[in-house]
Amino acid sequence: MFRKILGQDQAVLQLRKAIENGRISQAYLFHGSDGVGKFMSALYFGMAINCYALPELRPCGVCESCHKFLSLEHPDLIYIFPTPNLNLSVDGEIKNPESLKQYQAFIKNKLEQPWAYFFFKENTEIRKESISLLIKRMELTIHEARYRIAIIEDADQMNTATANAFLKTLEEPPANTVIILITERLQMILPTILSRTQPLYFKPLSQSVIDGILVNQFEVSLSTARTAAKISAGNLKTAIRIVSDTKSVSREWAFDIVHLAAENDDLGYISLMDKYKEFQNKDQVLDMLKYLRIIAGDLACLKISPDSDITNVDKTDSMIALANRCKDLDANLHDFLIVLEDLNRKIEGNVNLNLILINLFIKTKHFLSAQAC
């Protein structure tokens, strides 16, 4: 099943060699862009270590152990990810009914549509209660696996207190336990955690790899696949959502902000904030900022040359028109990207999102030199 992980030959080779040579580390850090196969690789690595098949066939995907891993139900698999406050009991039971409903919906989405982003209604992080539960489970005897596998997704969302609580376990994991941390923001991982893990880099997927997956597995035309691959900027999940006609709220939101900023339409922006009110949570706003960065880069390129090879190829005509109307896009780009990075840090610091969005609109107007459009 490792063959299903496309575009990550070097990372997969390192994992295979670790298994073949019996040199499996107790703690890994899988890092790289979103949507490039980090979680799948972590899961398949855990499957391969515990698979019942012959060594050359692992992970087979069909034995009882592999089936349990694929359904995220193996008793020796611990999966931690950012959540709202689940109000966990000492035994790990989610006592908040609404949180339980959202948690179950997240797992269902992960199993059935892993390319689709899932947004909790409240702000999320990897909470100390989840790490405490992980530590408690690691103290128990392994049920049936050769190795207990702990996968911590978006490990950068551990706050300092949570990360420090986790350090002792990371320094001295129980025997036959493999901990895999996953992140797309390596710079947010504490140095004390970095020094205790073996890093493994997952590079952005090439357009040809994404093209092939979309054509062969999702049966879309080559032209549609190429368009989606360009827009996705190496993110397979984004490309799949595009060809599946899955509405990207974050992308639409980003384009709406740009168009209103170009028109200097303050009243329209007030209405827009109301339109997207239900999506004004930390994760969704951060996702929207990712699209805004790409849009800004495309506009600056088109200002320099209408023939530029841009990411949002499906909106080329409207973006060329906008680039022609607004001045100094290329000169303003650097400062605008710094602004977006600053807003990103403030969101991570839990600054009021309404203030963030108002400031974002003002800065976007300045980037577009809206008064001159």
Q: Would you kindly state where each structural domain of the chain is located, as residue ranges?
A: 2-82+125-202, 206-246, 247-372
Strands of the sheet containing 177-183, edge to edge, are 77-80, 148-152, 177-183, 27-32, 198-202
pTM above 0.85, yes or no: no
Coil/strand/helix, residue 82: coil
Classify domain 2-82+125-202 by CATH number: 3.40.50.300
Sole residue written with tokens 């496309």: 6
Buried (b) or exposed (e) across 311-332, using 16+ Cβ within 10 A? bbeebeeebbebbeebeebeeb
3-state secondary structure (DSSP) of residue 69: helix
Closest CA to 373 of 264, 258, 300: 264
- Phi-psi sector, 205: left (phi>0), alpha (psi -120 to 50), beta: beta
Q: What distance in Å separates the CA atoms of residue 169 and residue 179, rounded to the nearest whole number? A: 10
The tokens describing 314, both together, are 């499906």
Both tokens of residue 295? 């849009």
Give the residue from 136, 368, 153 showing the smallest Cα distance to 265.
368
Residues 6+ apart with CB under 8 A from 53: 59, 60, 62, 63
pLDDT per residue of the chain (373 residues) written in tens, 0 to 9: 888 999 999 999 999 999 999 999 999 999 999 899 999 999 999 999 999 999 989 999 999 999 999 999 999 999 999 999 888 888 889 988 888 999 999 999 999 988 877 888 888 899 999 999 999 999 999 999 999 999 999 999 998 889 988 998 998 889 999 999 999 999 989 999 999 999 999 999 999 999 999 999 888 888 778 878 877 778 898 888 777 754 578 889 999 999 999 999 999 999 999 999 988 888 889 889 988 998 999 999 999 988 888 878 788 899 999 999 888 888 899 999 999 999 998 998 888 999 999 999 999 999 998 544 4
